Structure 1
Amino acid sequence: MTSKFPPRRLLAVAAALALIGGQADAKGSQQPKTSLDGSEVVCPLGSFHCAPRPYNYAMCRPNAMLEFYDPTLPTTSDLRDVSTAYGRATHVDSSNQTVYRLTGNAWLTRDDQRVQADTIDYNDDTTDYDARGNVRYQEAGQLMAGTHIRGNTNDSRALADDVRYQMLDSRGNGVAKQGQMLDAQRTRYSMATYSTCDLGHHIWEFSGKTITIDKDTGVGVARDATIRIGKVPFLYLPYFSFPVGHQRKSGFLYPTFGRSSRGGFEISTPYYFDLAPNYDATLDPRVYTSRGPMLAGEFRYLLPGTTGQLNVEYVPNDHGESDGLASTQGTSRYLIDYSDHTQLWKGWAFVTSYNHASDSSYLYDYGNMFSHTVIYALSSNAAIVGSGKWWNASFGGTVYQNTNPFATDSSLPYQQLPYANFSMNVPLTRWLQFGMDDGVAAFSKDQNVGGERLDLYPYLAGDFGTSAWFVRPKLAYRYTAYQLDGNYQDYGYYGLLGSGTTSPFTQQSPSRSLPIVSLDSGLVFDRSTSLFGESYTQTLEPRLYYLYVPYRNQNNLPLFDSALMSFDYWQLFSPNQFSGADRQMNANDLTGAITTRLLDDEGVERLSASFGQIRYFTPQRVQLPNGSNTVPAVTDWSGSDYVAELDLQLSDRWRLSSEYQWNPNTHVTDMGSLELQHRLGNDGIINFSYHYRRGLMEQYSASAVYPLSISWRLLASWTYAVPIKNMVAAPTGTVDAMAGVEYDSCCVTLRLVDRNYVNQAYYGTIPLPVGSNINRRDNAIMFEVIFKGLGSSGGQIDSLLRRDILGYQ
């Protein structure tokens, strides 16, 4: 039998049955698992940074976890208010015209809503209702079942017994002894549980004496809450709040547990303050068993035209070991990290970053061993920056603080107080453009020569060609002038001179000016070909690059920010082999190179191979000093290294990349590298690499994510350094080793990682101060729990894995 009721009659029952007022936010619940079948983008092979893998709910059972789920009902409630209610039952009794009784498989349906029970009574005058026996309710995004429910529609109050619920979108589900709807927005459950795991198979859940959900604020609150993994209590909190929507909320974040050699065991219990829509804060008290308590905090703000963040760490009394040059035991210590970006007017902004530690050992003792590499210097900068269609400019200053506990401030870069830079690139015609890269700065560094430097670099550049050929002439002029400090004759290239030693700086106002002329040209040929039964387009791209720069003696110029750049394929086409402006190489060179590529039918580059060399028509006379005041002799090379590069990816699961440089003058290998990557299924990857640069490094690296099953993955990375002759204190043997295991299920991810690594190292041939010629090791272990739908216990491990395992997601 089917009956038609006024809309309010179904709403009376539905409002009472919709006791579950909200659901903890399950981030990423709508995002499917990454795959290689084209259904979703996977981090490409060779990517240096991969986005975090979305929560994987593929291992969960379908959403029809309560047996009465009907997938034919609408998935939105847009038409609910204008829809008509229908009733269906074996028998409907409305003899008194006030109370309707539906018995025998009773149904009430209105748009996306449906309530089912053995018996449903509804009073049309008072809007009281009573549903008994096998009560079931469904609406857009939610299922609920119980034994008995009664309430009043007008007051938005209801009371339900033996409740089971399931949120269809975000998977949250649980049970409660009793549910009470306090009003239209707030619901309270007694003796209740909550989890995003499969109903009846809760790997984790939290239970509370009471759980209150407020849909208006998007916050749920559990009192006397216990979080369990399996049947084992994991954490007890007398008060625990959690999100039931996408709104931010104040409350405790999950604690972190870890251990390192320097800090001992670490316990962190952060608390988040949702102060306003445009600013918030986090207070993070920590305890290090080997060093003492710490109070850390974070404050973020977003104002009209301004955004910034302040991070502070404070240790009132450090009782740990003091190994560095700074004496820290028994002292208070701190770290400040501040950044801000303020829009001044259109095209102009003020940017600043301030980073300061109490002492040079702070990062060595408290540095995050799971998300950062070793930091030997903290930089602080403040600048006004601007940009337009054809130009950009900046004016500011940069200073550095030494954070190497075993080195003095002489290891720092030069400070620039102030500096100004201006660059422009203006098209004059379709094929001709005018540009410049100019800069001026005041350089200073303790125990080293200082002064001001002006560097002007205007140029004219042409660009002729089509898709089959190009010719790019460029004419530039570089003028660099200095005004050194008055005591410039007391210094050499690397600091104060001893008595009787002659300074290389013979003028207080030296300068250098020279033209730079280059001509870059190339051709592109292509043809159709096949390989292993696949069709490709093959290109052949010869390229010639001529460079002319006259020689200027620059031995009387200081070295503020210049260094010799590593030679690679792109150095074949560079106008200068030195970084910075203090050295400009001389050249009368011709580079010859050739590249071939294989492109598949979709235009994806499957193979790229390049080979080239520079032929020198005049000697390279501009050289850097070799660690003292001595400048090496002029080279007599007729040609540079032969440089070869190969990138090969004939399938989506294998990738090979290789570089090789052979010196025809010394008949030795100067550089070689090999990187091999293989994807295992959807969730695994194996990497192997070898890197060699003569006289500087030779390292082997391997890393892997090895899936044992759909739930278990092994994680590992290893870097081994071969001893290098004449390298002072360079680490050898195992430099970094990490091993871990990851468990991923429908609703929880567990990670356990152990890392052993060199915490302090020195690469170079320049002698360091006494006490700094050492390498220190550290060992760290971290356990992380990610409750899908509630958040994680820290997130530090994920950043380490994505950094150390190429292609990790």
Structure 2
Amino acid sequence: MTPSHSPRALPPRRLLAVAAAIALFGGPAQAHAAPARMHAKAATDEGVPSCPLGAFHCAPRPENFAMCHPNALLEFYDPTLPRDPTQRETSDTDVHATHVDSSNQAVYRLSGNVRIARADQLLRADRVDYNDTTTDYDAQGNVRYQEAGELLSADRLRGNNQASHGVADNVRYQLLQSRGNGTAARGELLDAQHSRYNQVTYSTCDVGHHLWEVRAKDLKIDKANGRGTARNATMRFANVPFLYLPWFSFPIDHRRQSGFLYPTFGGSSRSGTMFSIPYYLNLAPNYDATLEPRIYTQRGTVLAGEFRYLFPGTAGQLNAEYLPNDHGQDTENSTPTQGRDRWLLKYSDYTHLIGPWSFGTSINRTSDRNYLRDFGNDLYTSAIGTLGSSAYVSGGGNWWNASFGADSYQNVDPYLPDTVVQYKRWPRATLGLDLPINRWLEFGANTEAVAFRKDDVIEGKRLDLYPYLAADFQGAAWFVRPKLAYRYTAYQLDGDYQRYGYAGLLGGTDVSPFDRRSPSRALPIASLDTGLIFDRSTSLFGTSYTQTLEPRLYYLYVPYRNQNDLPLFDTTRMSFDYWQLFSPNQFSGADRQMNANNLTGALTTRLLDDNGVERLSASFGQIRYFAPQRVQLPNSNTTTAAPTDWTRSDYVAQLDIQLNDRWRLNSAYQWSPNTRQTDLGTLGLQRRIGTDGIFNFSYRYRRDLVEQYDSSIVYPVSERWRLLGRWVYSVRDRRTVEALAGVEYDSCCVAVRVVGRHYVVAASPFTDQGRTNNAVMFELVFKGLGAFNGQTEAVLRRGILGYQ
């Protein structure tokens, strides 16, 4: 028989024998296709799109197998075979062979390019023998087998039809749902979803070039559950064994599975060396948990865990850590921790209640102010001074929104007293309205009722009512937006309020004590916002743009009210910037409302490309004061700061440029005509290097507060190597605030990151500028399995703008 003949050319008895033989094999493939050379599925993944310039959060890069070579096993892969094993019982068998020998009435011998296909199964060999009496079969010589989830080549494949399995010698295998591949002395095909191998290797690297692999005495592949289980397993990297596991379970696809995650190593001068082995529990499709015991050589054992859930209408996450009997040494601050039980709790939840109403909560608490310093990872410890917790019922519709709940705060800065923590807002209710009256007029209101709680300072309740009428008249090239508002703020002070004054709020000596239990403030607020929009066609560097010219005038009138008898619960002066030119209040919160008789003049020009994308924006503006700024905040020495009689605000300028997708520049500058000094200057430059590199440079200056240079880079040396770096220098302190350097190596199946960091620990305001610390982290990523110390990528994405 030649391969071009139909199966009908075989005698009926021989066809039956071959059909019985093919029923032994399990797994998907497809018939009637000339196998074509193809890459493994993961090797054809498209490149990850670059993160847009200026984005603060870039998505992590998925595993990329683009550098892998075409898999040699896939040269006999037939992509046309069906992928449904359930079709086997009802499918015909397609047999091709050069010769058929039936001289032995019990054994039929097919030879010469034997090809046997049924449903998802395909067997090729130089020779196949089948025993009609015992249903044994034996395939020898260049054996190649394909099923829905796996490819296999062997010197020999034999089995039994009635037992529904086959055994292969000297095996090479490839999983089709992943890049998992390896060799084995012996392989056993149990059914369409299960197989077993002895003296086996497993890796996602190129066949024959395993930079990492698992070597095991026994390996079971469960394609139905997406899991591999190895016994007496050794992990090897560059052919060097580094980890032995008597039992090892790992994923063979992207489905969640219970099992141990990779260990994490770390260390700090405060807690010593840290080691942890997390265990993941895939409890159900909609909830899971992770248990993570950690050992700190200087403090003891921390029991940590995470629980996540997702139900109809609700989702949440609970994280908890507990250290019994801390045996570490106390740090230099005044809060003792040695011998104490220490803990951390974080809980967040969102639940839909009924109709437009939902409940959201976020609880964050620690046992003491030193916890985050002692147990934070040194590579990414951030200067968190306060932990906030909140719980709110909220709702909203087309013209309203409302909320009711509470906010609480905990001081977690070991260098600052608890008096610096903001007031608890317990409880707090808000109501917002935005009701259209007609197409150009609307009525709105911002309302808040809140009780402020804090130990050893004045406490009280506050009601803030802020109704307004706003109109919006506009055309294609102009707009006029008048707004008339009325603000009423009333207080009910608690307890012996007369003990406290402004300085008491700031921790100093009490001055000018409060003399009214129920002070209040009422005043109107009127504004008129107008502007014109001109545009024209222009070109720059050979590219066509639409240029706009947008003059804008904003007038604000707020009469003066003496507010010296009002407490300060949650109000501070906001930093002056371009948007403050058009703000009705320079203070956050409701405890102070600025007086104003101001006129802002501003001018903006933009360049828009043919797709409407803004490529350049330049703005310039200033406020003209027709009345002194009489409403001021108190300080530690006097009841209130002196009014300012400036007639002009700072000149404010902004410039943002992104003429293409390779680079971006943004800057801001403020100069005071009153002090004849620069109050603020910022410059930011971002430049993309290749497809996966980035360079950032920024300069930040605010008079009497900060002057820093900040530069960072991800430099692709080659397809495999990238250099990482960041340097932050404080001119005022004459020191390096942070320095980070690292290197990344990426290959077909392994990624390596080594990152070192030198940084300033949060400074004590009562001692010096702060201590420095050093940290080094090593991360080894085995693609398809996971990562050891898999935390540096998130750190780098936070520290280097545009990192992926």
Aligned counterpart for 1:601 among listed residues 586, 601, 610: 610
Query: Are the counterparts in 2 of residues 19 and 181 from structure 1 also a CA contact under 8 Å?
Result: no
Aligned counterpart for 1:157 among listed residues 147, 165, 171: 165
1:33 aligned partner = 47
Encode CA deviations 1:598-653: one digit per residue, 9 max, x unaligned: 12222222111111111111111111123344322211111111111111112221
1:514 aligned partner = 523
Give the letter for the 2:782 counterpart. Answer: F
Please give the alpha-carbon distance, in whole angstroms, between the structure 1 residues aligned to 2:190 and 2:261.
Answer: 28
Please give the alpha-carbon distance, in whole angstroms, between the structure 2 residues aligned to 1:626 and 1:497.
Answer: 8
2:80 aligned partner = 73
Tell me whether 1:646 sits opposite 2:649 in the alignment: no
Query: Are the counterparts in 2 of residues 16 and 149 from structure 1 also a CA contact under 8 Å?
Result: no
Give the letter for the 2:201 counterpart. Answer: T
Tell me whether 1:627 sits opposite 2:636 in the alignment: yes
Aligned counterpart for 1:760 among listed residues 715, 738, 762: 762
Give the letter for the 2:197 counterpart. Answer: Y
Tell me whether 1:354 sits opposite 2:354 in the alignment: no
Aligned counterpart for 1:279 among listed residues 284, 287, 291: 287
The farther-off stretch of 107-116 and 748-757 is 107-116
The farther-off stretch of 10-19 and 488-497 is 10-19
Identify the structure with bigger relative contact order (alpha carbons < 8 Å, sequence gap 6+). Answer: 1
Unaligned runs of 5+ in 1: 21-25, 35-40, 724-730, 763-767
Give the letter for the 1:804 counterpart. Answer: G
Rate the CA distance shift 1:734–1:517 in 2: closer, same or farther, 3 A.
same
Per-residue deviation at 1:182?
3.4
Tell me whether 1:541 sits opposite 2:543 in the alignment: no
Please give the alpha-carbon distance, in whole angstroms, between the structure 2 residues aligned to 1:48 and 1:563.
Answer: 26
> Residues 317-328 of structure 1: matches in 2 within 5 Å?
317-323=325-331, 324-328=333-337
Per-residue deviation at 1:321?
2.8
Per-residue deviation at 1:70?
4.6
Give the letter for the 2:317 counterpart. Answer: Q
Rate the CA distance shift 1:309–1:27 in 2: closer, same or farther, 3 A.
farther
Rate the CA distance shift 1:497–1:69 in 2: closer, same or farther, 3 A.
closer
1:38 aligned partner = none
Rate the CA distance shift 1:703–1:215 in 2: closer, same or farther, 3 A.
same
Aligned counterpart for 1:476 among listed residues 485, 494, 517: 485
1:262 aligned partner = 270
1:751 aligned partner = 753
2:345 aligned partner = 336
Please give the alpha-carbon distance, in whole angstroms, between the structure 2 residues aligned to 1:647 and 1:540.
Answer: 15
Per-residue deviation at 1:411?
1.3
2:33 aligned partner = none
SS of alignment partner, residue 798 of structure 1: helix
2:146 aligned partner = 138
Identity score, percent: 61
2:776 aligned partner = 781
Please give the alpha-carbon distance, in whole angstroms, between the structure 2 residues aligned to 1:141 and 1:462.
Answer: 65
SS of alignment partner, residue 75 of structure 2: coil
Rate the CA distance shift 1:69–1:466 in 2: closer, same or farther, 3 A.
farther
Per-residue deviation at 1:150?
1.5
Rate the CA distance shift 1:15–1:301 in 2: closer, same or farther, 3 A.
farther
Aligned counterpart for 2:69 among listed residues 58, 61, 69: 61
1:176 aligned partner = 184
The farther-off stretch of 179-188 and 2-11 is 2-11
2:786 aligned partner = 791
2:465 aligned partner = 456
Rate the CA distance shift 1:360–1:795 in 2: closer, same or farther, 3 A.
same
Please give the alpha-carbon distance, in whole angstroms, between the structure 2 residues aligned to 1:390 and 1:96.
Answer: 89
Please give the alpha-carbon distance, in whole angstroms, between the structure 1 residues aligned to 2:382 and 2:783.
Answer: 29
> Residues 340-419 of structure 1: matches in 2 within 5 Å?
340-371=349-380, 373-419=382-428
The farther-off stretch of 525-534 and 787-796 is 787-796
1:307 aligned partner = 315
Tell me whether 1:225 sits opposite 2:233 in the alignment: yes
1:4 aligned partner = 7
1:802 aligned partner = 797
Per-residue deviation at 1:562?
0.5
Unaligned runs of 5+ in 2: 9-14, 30-39
Encode CA deviations 1:660-685: one digit per residue, 9 max, x unaligned: 11111111110000111111111211
Tell me whether 1:148 sits opposite 2:160 in the alignment: no
SS of alignment partner, residue 489 of structure 1: helix
Instruction: Provide the TM-score with structure 2 as the length reference.
Output: 0.92
1:734 aligned partner = 736
Please give the alpha-carbon distance, in whole angstroms, between the structure 2 residues aligned to 1:625 and 1:205.
Answer: 67
Per-residue deviation at 1:80?
5.8
Per-residue deviation at 1:233?
1.4
Query: Are the counterparts in 1 of residues 379 and 776 from structure 2 also a CA contact under 8 Å?
Result: no
Instruction: Provide the TM-score with structure 1 as the length reference.
Output: 0.92
Query: Are the counterparts in 1 of residues 655 and 666 from structure 2 also a CA contact under 8 Å?
Result: yes
Give the letter for the 1:591 counterpart. Answer: T
Please give the alpha-carbon distance, in whole angstroms, between the structure 2 residues aligned to 1:264 and 1:8.
Answer: 70
Rate the CA distance shift 1:428–1:195 in 2: closer, same or farther, 3 A.
same
SS of alignment partner, residue 498 of structure 2: helix
1:421 aligned partner = 430
Please give the alpha-carbon distance, in whole angstroms, between the structure 2 residues aligned to 1:431 and 1:101.
Answer: 90
2:34 aligned partner = none
SS of alignment partner, residue 290 of structure 2: strand
Tell me whether 1:236 sits opposite 2:244 in the alignment: yes
Query: Are the counterparts in 2 of residues 256 and 784 from structure 1 also a CA contact under 8 Å?
Result: no
Give the letter for the 2:740 counterpart. Answer: M
Query: Are the counterparts in 1 of residues 126 and 141 from structure 2 also a CA contact under 8 Å?
Result: yes
Please give the alpha-carbon distance, in whole angstroms, between the structure 1 residues aligned to 2:660 and 2:310.
Answer: 45
Please give the alpha-carbon distance, in whole angstroms, between the structure 1 residues aligned to 2:82 and 2:72.
Answer: 16
Please give the alpha-carbon distance, in whole angstroms, between the structure 2 residues aligned to 1:536 and 1:114.
Answer: 60
Aligned counterpart for 1:554 among listed residues 554, 563, 567: 563
1:438 aligned partner = 447
Tell me whether 1:250 sits opposite 2:258 in the alignment: yes
Please give the alpha-carbon distance, in whole angstroms, between the structure 2 residues aligned to 1:498 and 1:266.
Answer: 39
Please give the alpha-carbon distance, in whole angstroms, between the structure 1 residues aligned to 2:170 and 2:430.
Answer: 71
Query: Are the counterparts in 2 of residues 4 and 84 from structure 1 also a CA contact under 8 Å?
Result: no
Query: Are the counterparts in 1 of residues 170 and 183 from structure 2 also a CA contact under 8 Å?
Result: yes
Please give the alpha-carbon distance, in whole angstroms, between the structure 1 residues aligned to 2:679 and 2:279.
Answer: 53
Please give the alpha-carbon distance, in whole angstroms, between the structure 2 residues aligned to 1:119 and 1:496.
Answer: 93
The farther-off stretch of 157-166 and 371-380 is 371-380
Rate the CA distance shift 1:260–1:558 in 2: closer, same or farther, 3 A.
same
Encode CA deviations 1:53-84: one digit per residue, 9 max, x unaligned: 1222111112x422633566358559965764
Give the letter for the 2:112 counterpart. Answer: G
SS of alignment partner, residue 320 of structure 1: coil
Per-residue deviation at 1:96?
6.6
Tell me whether 1:527 sits opposite 2:536 in the alignment: yes
Per-residue deviation at 1:219?
2.1
SS of alignment partner, residue 297 of structure 1: strand
The farther-off stretch of 787-796 and 674-683 is 787-796
2:710 aligned partner = 701
Rate the CA distance shift 1:282–1:179 in 2: closer, same or farther, 3 A.
same
SS of alignment partner, residue 66 of structure 1: helix
Per-residue deviation at 1:19?
10
Query: Are the counterparts in 2 of residues 75 and 141 from structure 1 also a CA contact under 8 Å?
Result: no
1:728 aligned partner = none
The farther-off stretch of 177-186 and 5-14 is 5-14
Encode CA deviations 1:651-710: one digit per residue, 9 max, x unaligned: 221111111111111111100001111111112111111000011100100101111211
Rate the CA distance shift 1:777–1:641 in 2: closer, same or farther, 3 A.
same
Query: Are the counterparts in 2 of residues 93 and 101 from structure 1 also a CA contact under 8 Å?
Result: yes
Per-residue deviation at 1:794?
3.9
Per-residue deviation at 1:774?
5.3
Tell me whether 1:104 sits opposite 2:107 in the alignment: no
SS of alignment partner, residue 795 of structure 2: helix
Rate the CA distance shift 1:46–1:501 in 2: closer, same or farther, 3 A.
closer
Per-residue deviation at 1:278?
2.6
Rate the CA distance shift 1:299–1:169 in 2: closer, same or farther, 3 A.
closer
Query: Are the counterparts in 2 of residues 593 and 610 from structure 1 also a CA contact under 8 Å?
Result: yes
Give the letter for the 1:33 counterpart. Answer: G
